[in-house]
Amino acid sequence: MIRKFMEGVIDKFRKSESEVVNMQSDFDNQSSQNYKGRLFVVEGCDGSGKSTQLHLLRRYLEGKGYPVYFTTWNSSELVKNATKIAKKKNLLTPTTFCLIHASDFADRYEKQILPHLKAGYIVLADRYIYTAWARDAARGVEIDWVKNIYSFAIKPTAAFYFRAPLEISIDRILSGRPQLKFHEAGMDLKLSNNIEESFKIFQGLIKDQYDSMIENEGLIVIDATLKIEEQQRLFRKYIDEFLKDYTVPEYLSIIGKENTSQL
């Protein structure tokens, strides 16, 4: 019953959203502070351990009774199939590749992220627009063009960059998942005929992009070489600070209690 009630609440925000015809907004002039909810995002190279950190943060926030909405990159059902087929075919130019991912993100943003933010949730995003910026720029697509495409998405409350030396994140990936995917390894860029070698070069290009965003976009750096517990302690400290002025909307407080009882 609670679930049904909440679906109704979210649906209300979603509907009001779909009626807003002009969706574009100036990324720099708008932030999630304009909404009842908060948006925290984690970024970093594959193997940086950011997903683990976000998972632990989610547990922490739910334990505190907060209404949390969790979302990951490329989770939209709608365009997923197209991206998969396209990737398999290995036919896409960087421009098309960028636009397909942007379609996917726009769908997820306007149907999931934004309605939950408006409804007052704490939205946790495992990768956000910075992932697209970094990957597309690493593919040689003009960064200003990419940024403009994603300008419909608001600036998050805070974006955390889990930063590790390239060798460490690469080692973590290569030791755990030896079957690299074609585009994941940047093979479309013809950096190397060897997929592992290509992956290493491509991850380096992505890391360069992230590094340049620290200052330009105000990413908060967390040293991903620290112990998991230590990273989480730092992470929570930042989050607690950002949540100082956050209050759970009354109509959502029931969610928190429900979650707590499940822990």
3-state secondary structure of 169: helix
* Shortest spacing between CB 22 and its own copies, in angstroms: 5
* Shortest spacing between CB 145 and its own copies, in angstroms: 5
Residues 206-245 touching its own copies, rule: CB under 8 A, are none
3-state secondary structure of 71: strand
Burial of residue 96, with CB atoms counted within 10 A of its CB: 0-12 exposed, 13-18 middle, 19 or more buried = exposed
Candidate list 92, 220, 243, 254; residue touching its own copies; CB under 8 A: 92
Query: Candidates 28-36, 100-108, 122-130, 226-234 — which segment interacts with its own copies by CB under 8 A?
Result: 100-108
**Is residue 15 at the binding interface for its own copies, with CB under 8 A as the rule?**
no
Burial 208-233 (b: 16+ CB within 10 A, else e): ebbeebeeebebbebebeeeeeebbe
| Half-sphere exposure in the Cβ direction for 91 (13 Å, CA) | 7
Query: Candidates 49-57, 92-100, 124-132, 166-174 — which segment interacts with its own copies by CB under 8 A?
Result: 92-100
Residue type, 140: G
Residues 148-167 touching its own copies, rule: CB under 8 A, are 148-149, 151-152
Q: Which residue, 73 or 162, has its beta carbon nearer to its own copies?
A: 73
3-state secondary structure of 105: helix
Residues 34-73 touching its own copies, rule: CB under 8 A, are none
* Shortest spacing between CB 82 and its own copies, in angstroms: 3
**Is residue 140 at the binding interface for its own copies, with CB under 8 A as the rule?**
yes
x/- track of binding to its own copies for residues 172-191 (CB under 8 A): -----------------xx-
**Is residue 102 at the binding interface for its own copies, with CB under 8 A as the rule?**
yes
Rg (CA), the chain: 19
What is the rounded CA–CA span in Å between residue 185 and residue 141? 17
**Is residue 11 at the binding interface for its own copies, with CB under 8 A as the rule?**
no
What is the rounded CA–CA span in Å between residue 38 and residue 51? 18
Strand order in the sheet with 158-163: 68-72, 122-126, 38-43, 158-163, 220-223
Cβ-contact 116, 10 below 8 angstroms: yes
Query: Candidates 90-98, 123-131, 212-220, 237-245 — which segment interacts with its own copies by CB under 8 A?
Result: 90-98
**Is residue 261 at the binding interface for its own copies, with CB under 8 A as the rule?**
no
Instruction: Please report, as ranges, the residues that interact with its own copies according to CB under 8 A.
Output: 17-19, 21-24, 78-79, 81-82, 85-86, 89, 91-96, 99-100, 102-103, 106-107, 110-111, 139-142, 145, 148-149, 151-152, 189-190
